Amino acid sequence: MRSKSYRFVLPTIVVAAFIGATFLLCQQALSAPPDSGSGAASSSAGKQIYESHCAYCHGLAGKGDGIAAAYLSPRPRDFTAGKFKFRSTESGSIPTDDDLLKTISEGLHSTAMPDWKTFISSDSIKLVIGYVKTFSARFANEKPRPFIVGSEPTMTPSRLATGAEVFQRLQCQSCHGVGGTGVGATASELFDDWGNPETPPKLTEPWTFRGGSSPADIYLRFRTGIDGTPMPSYISSATDAEMWDAAFYVTSLGRTPAWKMNADNLKKFYASQDSDARSNPIKRGKYLVDTHLCASCHSTFNADCTMKDGMAFAGGVKIDLYPFGVFYTQNLTSDKETGLGNFTDAEIKRAITTGVTKANGRMLPFPMPWPSYAMLSDEDLNAIVAYLRTLPPVYNKIPPPEHLNIVSYMWGKFQMLILGKVFPGKFYSGNYGISNPSAGKSISDASKGVQK
């Protein structure tokens, strides 16, 4: 009896398991069609991956306004316009799925876009592509107009020479500079379609070409343009062969990157970098301010950690350093009344390198890392000051620091030094400055009235 039931039950379980597994596999295969991406199930799977991996920079609604977006340059892509830079499709066309797959898999060189293929399977990336395409109606209404790159011609010296002529004729140097050095006449006045300043890449630094630096990649940029930027398609002003020649010429402009140079060349390279910095201190200063974490504390941020609009470098972040007091970060913009407008160069440098405030107060060595900034060279300090002077004025009146009464201060110090208690420094979101000039004035007038 028992053995009979076993003989019946066991095969039944095996068959049931087989049917179940087949069913599950089929369902999975059906719900993840490789190229359509419009199925509800795939879209929700794509949405999930998008929200956990992409939204941090590109935003939940794909507007390129994620949590980190305002801190990044170039800004993350806004998907809602359906405009994509790196395509194998005609100028103005939406990209193919393969274009998007390439961008997401390989990342974009020299930007914050990582090579996702290292972390996510290509099937998952395809699901994300399906979801990204839902942000713009263009993908539902239009078909991409793909352009097939013909076979790559062989590079010859004569092709290079023609390429140099084509480069001249197409006025490439007006943005990219003569010889592709990145300092063209119009290079500082370029903006993308979203109003962000656009820096044309130095063609001498092929590792910064976001869409790749092979001749075929560069040829595609000539042929299809970079949508949303001042880089047009040259389809109507150059022949196919000429665009290949120009692409070869551009690849020939590339120099050795610093990390592969020999000692002599590296020394010369750093010397030329230093002399560039001396001749353009504002540019050097911007680079130093952008890379020295100033925005972390001197730009007001919202509760969701996004930067507050229009408050870049306007200070007003509240930092509670119990038991030392409550401090508010300085407005670094050039505003005369509330920013650095009334600071002398020496006062700015003194604050940065010694932590001594304009009112002769002393800053703790943290969180303002002035002991580190003390190691900046004089030239770099001058460059920082020169750049800060160019920040457009933002009125934001910063409150003075608040210190504890002596008893609380001593009690806090006792716990800290004798009992070994660790008190956290606390950072608060929101602006603690007074950003409304009329309100700011009335308060300062009122306090003057009290003093009288």
Partner 1 sequence: MKKALKWILRIVVALVVVGFVCFLYFIPPFYIAPPEAFSKPEADAPPSLANITDPAERALAEHGKYIVSTVGCSACHTPIGSKGPTYEKYLAGGLKLSGKVDGAFVSRNLTPDTKVGLGRRTDDQVLRVFRTGLLPEGREALHRVMPWYALSAMTEEDRHAVLAYLRHLTPVSQHIPDPDFKAPMADTASAEEFYPSDYGIAQ
- Residues between 320 and 359 that touch partner 1 (CB under 8 A): 320, 324, 353-356
Q: Looking at the DSSP assignment, which residues form a beta bridge with residue 191?
A: 197
Backbone angles phi, psi at 321, to 5 degrees: -110, 65
Sole binder of partner 1 in the list 148, 359, 375, 407 (CB under 8 A): 375
Comparing CB distances to partner 1, the nearer of 130 and 355 is 355
Closest-CA residue to 294 (of 411, 388, 186): 388
Sole binder of partner 1 in the list 198, 227, 242, 380 (CB under 8 A): 380
Sole binder of partner 1 in the list 365, 390, 439, 442 (CB under 8 A): 365
Considering only residues 68 to 107 of the shown chain, the ones binding partner 1 according to CB under 8 A are: 68, 71-73, 107
Comparing CB distances to partner 1, the nearer of 7 and 403 is 403
The Cα 177–Cα 253 span in angstroms is 12
Give yes or no for a contact between 51 and 43, defined as CB atoms under 8 angstroms apart.
Answer: no
Considering only residues 29 to 68 of the shown chain, the ones binding partner 1 according to CB under 8 A are: 53, 56, 67-68
Stretch that binds partner 1, among 15-23, 111-119, 125-133, 185-193 (CB under 8 A): 111-119
CB atoms within 10 A of CB 108: 19
Cα-trace Rg, the chain: 29
Helix (H) or strand (E) holding 20: helix 2-31
Size of the site for partner 1 (CB under 8 A): 73
Comparing CB distances to partner 1, the nearer of 406 and 450 is 406
CB of residue 192 to partner 1, shortest distance in Å: 17
CB of residue 395 to partner 1, shortest distance in Å: 24
Considering only residues 257 to 286 of the shown chain, the ones binding partner 1 according to CB under 8 A are: 257-259, 261-263, 266-267, 270
Q: Is 371 in the site for partner 1 (CB under 8 A)?
A: yes
Give yes or no for a contact between 211 and 220, defined as CB atoms under 8 angstroms apart.
Answer: yes
Q: Looking at the DSSP assignment, which residues form a beta bridge with residue 301?
A: 307
The Cα 319–Cα 190 span in angstroms is 38
Q: Is 372 in the site for partner 1 (CB under 8 A)?
A: yes
DSSP string, 98-115: HHHHHHHHH--TTSS---
CA angle, 234 then 240 then 245, to 5°: 90
Query: What do you get for the CA distance between the two ends of the chain, in Å?
Result: 107
Comparing CB distances to partner 1, the nearer of 56 and 194 is 56
Closest-CA residue to 205 (of 263, 282, 259): 259
Q: Is 169 in the site for partner 1 (CB under 8 A)?
A: no
* Distances, alpha carbon 131 to alpha carbons 36, 128, 156, 289, in Å: 11, 5, 44, 36
Stretch that binds partner 1, among 150-158, 218-226, 326-334, 364-372 (CB under 8 A): 364-372
Sole binder of partner 1 in the list 7, 19, 26, 115 (CB under 8 A): 115
Considering only residues 232 to 261 of the shown chain, the ones binding partner 1 according to CB under 8 A are: 257-259, 261
Comparing CB distances to partner 1, the nearer of 8 and 270 is 270
3-state secondary structure at position 437: helix
HSE-CB at 7 with a 13 A cutoff on CA atoms is: 4
What residues contact residue 128 under an 8 Å CB cut-off, 6+ apart?
46, 49, 50, 53, 54, 104, 120
Considering only residues 421 to 440 of the shown chain, the ones binding partner 1 according to CB under 8 A are: 422, 424-429
Comparing CB distances to partner 1, the nearer of 246 and 311 is 311
The burial of 85, by beta-carbon neighbours within 10 Å (0-12 exposed, 13-18 middle, 19 or more buried), is given as: buried
Token pair listed for 319: 């930092």
Token pair listed for 78: 């806004």
Give yes or no for a contact between 245 and 166, defined as CB atoms under 8 angstroms apart.
Answer: yes
Comparing CB distances to partner 1, the nearer of 73 and 442 is 73
Comparing CB distances to partner 1, the nearer of 418 and 450 is 418
Comparing CB distances to partner 1, the nearer of 99 and 205 is 205
Sole binder of partner 1 in the list 4, 141, 359, 420 (CB under 8 A): 420
The contact mask relative to partner 1 for 186-205 (x = CB under 8 A, - = no) is -------------------x
Sole binder of partner 1 in the list 14, 271, 305, 439 (CB under 8 A): 305
Give yes or no for a contact between 425 and 321, defined as CB atoms under 8 angstroms apart.
Answer: yes
Comparing CB distances to partner 1, the nearer of 163 and 206 is 206
Sole binder of partner 1 in the list 51, 152, 290, 379 (CB under 8 A): 290
Considering only residues 389 to 418 of the shown chain, the ones binding partner 1 according to CB under 8 A are: 409-410, 413-414, 417-418
Comparing CB distances to partner 1, the nearer of 156 and 256 is 256
CB of residue 202 to partner 1, shortest distance in Å: 10
The Cα 41–Cα 31 span in angstroms is 6
CB of residue 54 to partner 1, shortest distance in Å: 10
Closest-CA residue to 431 (of 314, 320, 324): 314
CB of residue 308 to partner 1, shortest distance in Å: 12
